[in-house]
Amino acid sequence: MAIIVFTYLQKLIQTGQKISINSVIKHTNIPLSVLGTIVYFTLGLLTWLRERPEFTFDPFHWVKKEQLLITFMEFSHFDFLRKLLYPLLIIIFVILSIIIVYPKLRKVYLKELISPVFLIIIALGISIFLSYVSFRSDYWILTRQWVASISLVPLGFVWLAYRISKIFAKIHIIIAFLWIMLCFTPIVLQFHKVAISNSQALRERLAQISVISKEYQDNFEYLESLEYFETPKNLQNQNVDDSNQYWVSLANKNIQQGGKVWKGFRGFYGHPK
């Protein structure tokens, strides 16, 4: 739905057309959308939608309530901007405000900037919605729930920064160059840091890989054959951290063996046998 709304509004901006029922129907492609919806829910009813587990977790166990906004903004969606996050957001806000206030500027430049801004807003909105669902379901609010949006926000920001640089270029090329340097320097530095970290982690992982013994292989095959992993009785009344370590240990064994995800992990979600 978000993709349909975004692409439709983008089409209106680019073509200058007005919103109409016919254009909405044509853009949505009702037959294809209905077919996709049927396929999606059919697969869901056969798999993940068959049962809804009841959770009693603290939503703020991993992302603390007092750190939620900082984690959401600085350590996830806008992590690539680092210390320049708020200065850049203030500059962008000022630029947008000036363009909106002055009719001549609004008529010429607003439609150039609204699409990337809207993309960022949609991405943040999706993450907020998923976190709200977790909160209402008594499930953990996790940063991995925001993965798709975390990928979209940098895309929208680069798009927006490029559009703003074109505006600055009409004033003076030096201003446009300084703006580009200001926006993309933290992105390049962060990419370099992540690349080094991932390369080091990969080397360490490869160094740890060894031939799996016959005893380990038999144990892996036994775990793979189980339909449902029971939480050990000594962990059933323990805190979340202890219980979570049990599942992490099983997941690491599954990764070490490779291949498909073991069927027994349905036990983590509380499904009955």
User: Are 182 and 64 members of one domain?
Assistant: yes
Type and span of the H or E element at 196: helix 173-208
C-beta of residue 107 within 8 angstroms of C-beta of residue 179: no
Contacts of 148 (CB under 8 A, 6+ apart): 123, 126
User: Are 71 and 170 members of one domain?
Assistant: yes
User: Are 128 and 234 members of one domain?
Assistant: no
Residue 238: is its pLDDT beyond 70?
A: no
> Which tens digit of pLDDT belongs to each residue from 177-234?
999 999 988 888 888 888 888 888 777 766 655 555 555 677 778 888 888 787 676 6
**Which percentage of the chain shows pLDDT scores above 70?**
87
User: Are 76 and 31 members of one domain?
Assistant: no
> Which tens digit of pLDDT belongs to each residue from 136-157?
989 999 999 999 999 999 999 9
Q: Which domain holds residue 244?
A: 214-269
C-beta of residue 28 within 8 angstroms of C-beta of residue 36: no
The closest of 159, 228, 149 to 10, measured between CA atoms, is 159
User: Are 6 and 43 members of one domain?
Assistant: yes
C-alpha dihedral sign at 71, 73, 78, 84: negative
4-13, 108-117, 118-127: which is most confident? 118-127
User: Are 66 and 38 members of one domain?
Assistant: no
User: Are 144 and 261 members of one domain?
Assistant: no
> Could you tell me the pTM of the whole model?
0.71
Continuous H helices in 209-239: 214-225, 233-236
The verdict on residue 202 lying in a domain is no
Tokens of 198: 């991932």
Q: What is the mean pLDDT of the chain?
A: 83
- pLDDT at residue 141 in the model: 93
